[in-house]
């Protein structure tokens, strides 16, 4: 995903330097392209669709019957809250380019200004290169919604609803917005100026969400009875449905991040599809080999791992790179979500860290190798080597993880002090649906 301000420039740069010429015919003339606009309108709908119903169902099916509504509610209400927050101030913090200048590190390298609050000055005919600025705004909004929603999986079954709201609001302002700005905020952004490659959000979305989730589940503590008490998914078909919707919606997430309807968008969905498929198969074969039975939950989880991992790389690698990233993420995320988690004994209930955190990390660093032209990638920029690119990727990934961990921890402590984080034991036994929302999911 590219910032609206340097999108055109970046494309021309790519076209010039690395022969990546499949740019839609109207992107260059400065006007708004109906074709590009059509695609990003749809991509926006697809990413919203990933969150509700996609992610909500994926997570909802995995919890116990008594907590399913609480999970759906969190995904649903985060959609609403983050929409308002993005409109009021989030977009400005993430994408205002005022005060930035390429190569110079100042406050605006880390976070945007406030001049775009409430979309000041933006009308339907304000362009962001080839598409309307309002479309850039709403497409990016869907990322601002889904990133905190991903974290929901780590604290299901035991967190107060009000704590979810406070935590995610503060987190989106203090973690998501600045990281997004550093990577996608345009020339002058801290990571952008280093030449970091994060096409659709390996760092911005998956590493931040994965690390935030890990910290949250550690601070919250494990569910009552975990890991002794069995807590099987109450409705796996619901989870599979959600996974499938995430998969389909990811075409909008990655393909839309090209911000144009061209060969780059097509390439993004091709590698997305290949990585998802390969990771699905990797996870499946591991289970088949190890337990004798490949599970549906495993295959579905594998697909999400492959999708998360290809996200940062979907603009830079080709089919071979996608096969490698898919296979690696299917394998390593499996290991992280099962072996590692059990060893370290944290209760990341729905494996947000193991799947998104680890997957996002894999894609972010591996793309340094796989973007090479010999492997079908777009190749390196002028003066960039695989080594230097790798260094930048690693630095940005690790720095983001550390920053996210620290800030998440502080926010959680504050929220804990103010409204409390964890439900009472009686409420946990009763289930959050009744205790916090006064409803039951299924009635006769």
Partner 1 sequence: MKKIEAIIKPFKLEEVRDALSEVGVVGMSVSEVKGFGRQKGHTEIYRGSEYTVDFLPKIKIETVVSDDKVDAVIEAIASAAKTGKIGDGKIFVLPVGNAIRIRTDEKGEEAI
| Interface residues toward partner 1, by CB under 8 A | 227, 229-230, 232-233, 287, 291, 295, 297-298, 301, 337-339, 341-342, 351, 429, 434, 438-440, 444
Residue 264 contacts which entry, partner 1, a copy of itself, none (Cβ below 5-8 A, type-dependent): a copy of itself
Q: In terms of CB distance, is 35 or 195 closer to a copy of itself?
A: 35
Residue 377 contacts which entry, a copy of itself, partner 1, none (Cβ below 5-8 A, type-dependent): none
Residue 364 contacts which entry, a copy of itself, partner 1, none (Cβ below 5-8 A, type-dependent): none
Distance separating alpha carbons of residues 265 and 21, to the nearest angstrom: 12
Q: In terms of CB distance, is 102 or 373 closer to a copy of itself?
A: 373
Is residue 113 within 8 A of residue 107, CB to CB? The reply is: no
Q: In the bound complex, what is the minimum distance in angstroms from residue 322's beta carbon to a copy of itself?
A: 9
Q: In terms of CB distance, is 58 or 191 closer to a copy of itself?
A: 58
Q: In the bound complex, what is the minimum distance in angstroms from residue 61's beta carbon to partner 1?
A: 11
Q: In the bound complex, what is the minimum distance in angstroms from residue 388's beta carbon to a copy of itself?
A: 24
Distance separating alpha carbons of residues 153 and 59, to the nearest angstrom: 6
Is residue 220 within 8 A of residue 421, CB to CB? The reply is: yes
Q: In terms of CB distance, is 72 or 214 closer to a copy of itself?
A: 72
Quick one: which of 244, 222, 275, 185 has its CA closest to 1? 185
Q: Give alpha helix (H) positions in 55-160.
A: 56-62, 68-85, 91-95, 133-151
Please list, in sequence order, all residues whose beta carbon lies within 8 angstroms of the beta carbon of residue 46, skipping any fewer than 6 positions away: 248, 249, 250, 251, 252, 253, 256
Q: In the bound complex, what is the minimum distance in angstroms from residue 404's beta carbon to a copy of itself?
A: 25
Residue 429 contacts which entry, partner 1, a copy of itself, none (Cβ below 5-8 A, type-dependent): partner 1
Please list, in sequence order, all residues whose beta carbon lies within 8 angstroms of the beta carbon of residue 430, skipping any fewer than 6 positions away: 66
Q: In terms of CB distance, is 214 or 268 closer to partner 1?
A: 214
Tokens of residue 59, six digits: 């997570």
Q: In terms of CB distance, is 46 or 397 closer to a copy of itself?
A: 46
Residue 390 contacts which entry, a copy of itself, partner 1, none (Cβ below 5-8 A, type-dependent): none
Which residues face 131 on adjacent strands? 128
Q: In terms of CB distance, is 383 or 438 closer to partner 1?
A: 438
Q: In the bound complex, what is the minimum distance in angstroms from residue 423's beta carbon to a copy of itself?
A: 13
Residue 80 contacts which entry, a copy of itself, partner 1, none (Cβ below 5-8 A, type-dependent): a copy of itself
What is the residue-wise DSSP string for 298-329?
Answer: HHHHHHHHHHHHHGGGTTT--HHHHHHHHHHH
> Measured on CA atoms in the order 239, 257, 135, 84, is the torsion positive or negative?
positive
Residue 294 contacts which entry, a copy of itself, partner 1, none (Cβ below 5-8 A, type-dependent): a copy of itself
Q: In terms of CB distance, is 121 or 438 closer to partner 1?
A: 438
Is residue 247 within 8 A of residue 276, CB to CB? The reply is: yes
Which residues face 159 on adjacent strands? 422
Is residue 181 within 8 A of residue 95, CB to CB? The reply is: yes
Q: In the bound complex, what is the minimum distance in angstroms from residue 216's beta carbon to a copy of itself?
A: 21
Residue 374 contacts which entry, partner 1, a copy of itself, none (Cβ below 5-8 A, type-dependent): none
CB atoms within 10 A of CB 429: 12
Q: In the bound complex, what is the minimum distance in angstroms from residue 80's beta carbon to a copy of itself?
A: 4
Q: In the bound complex, what is the minimum distance in angstroms from residue 239's beta carbon to a copy of itself?
A: 10
Tokens of residue 247, six digits: 């998969």
Distance separating alpha carbons of residues 27 and 267, to the nearest angstrom: 17
């Amino acid at each position: 995903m590219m910032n609206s301000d340097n999108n055109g420039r970046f494309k021309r740069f790519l076209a010039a330097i690395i022969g990546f010429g499949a740019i839609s015919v109207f992107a260059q003339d400065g006007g708004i392209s109906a074709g590009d606009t059509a695609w990003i309108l749809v991509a926006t709908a697809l990413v919203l669709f990933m969150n509700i119903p996609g992610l909500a169902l994926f997570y909802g099916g995995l919890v116990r019957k008594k907590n399913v509504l609480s999970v759906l509610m969190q995904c649903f209400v985060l959609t609403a809250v983050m929409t308002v927050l993005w409109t009021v101030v989030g977009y400005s913090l993430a994408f205002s380019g005022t005060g930035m200048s390429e190569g110079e590190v100042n406050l605006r390298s880390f976070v945007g200004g406030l001049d775009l609050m409430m979309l000041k000055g933006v009308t339907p005919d304000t362009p962001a290169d080839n598409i309307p600025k309002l479309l850039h705004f709403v497409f990016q909004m869907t990322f601002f919604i889904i990133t905190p929603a991903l974290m929901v999986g780590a604290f299901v079954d035991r967190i107060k609803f009000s704590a979810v709201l406070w935590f995610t609001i503060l987190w989106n302002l203090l973690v998501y917005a600045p990281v997004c700005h550093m990577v996608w905020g345009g020339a002058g952004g801290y990571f952008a100026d280093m030449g970091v490659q994060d096409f659709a959000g390996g760092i911005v979305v998956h590493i931040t969400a994965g690390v935030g989730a890990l910290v949250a589940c550690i601070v919250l503590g494990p569910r009552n009875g975990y890991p002794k008490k069995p807590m099987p998914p109450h409705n796996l078909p619901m989870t599979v449905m959600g996974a499938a919707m995430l998969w389909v919606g990811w075409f909008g997430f990655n393909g839309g991040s090209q911000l144009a309807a061209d060969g780059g968008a097509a390439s993004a969905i091709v590698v997305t599809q290949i990585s998802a498929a390969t990771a699905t198969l990797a996870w499946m074969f591991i289970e088949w080999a190890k337990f004798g039975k490949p599970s549906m939950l495993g295959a579905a989880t594998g697909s999400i791992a492959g999708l998360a991992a290809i996200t940062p790389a979907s603009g830079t690698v080709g089919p071979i790179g996608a096969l490698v990233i898919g296979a690696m993420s299917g394998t390593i995320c499996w290991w992280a979500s099962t072996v590692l988690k059990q060893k370290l004994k944290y209760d990341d209930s729905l494996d947000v860290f193991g799947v998104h955190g680890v997957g996002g990390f894999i894609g972010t660093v591996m793309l340094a190798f796989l973007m090479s032209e010999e492997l079908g990638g777009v190749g390196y920029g002028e003066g960039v080597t695989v080594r230097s690119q790798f260094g930048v990727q690693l630095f940005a990934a690790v720095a983001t993880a550390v920053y996210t961990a620290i800030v998440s921890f502080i926010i959680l402590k504050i929220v804990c002090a103010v409204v409390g984080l964890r439900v009472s034991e009686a409420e946990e036994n009763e289930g959050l649906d009744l205790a916090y929302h006064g409803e039951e999911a299924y009635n006769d």
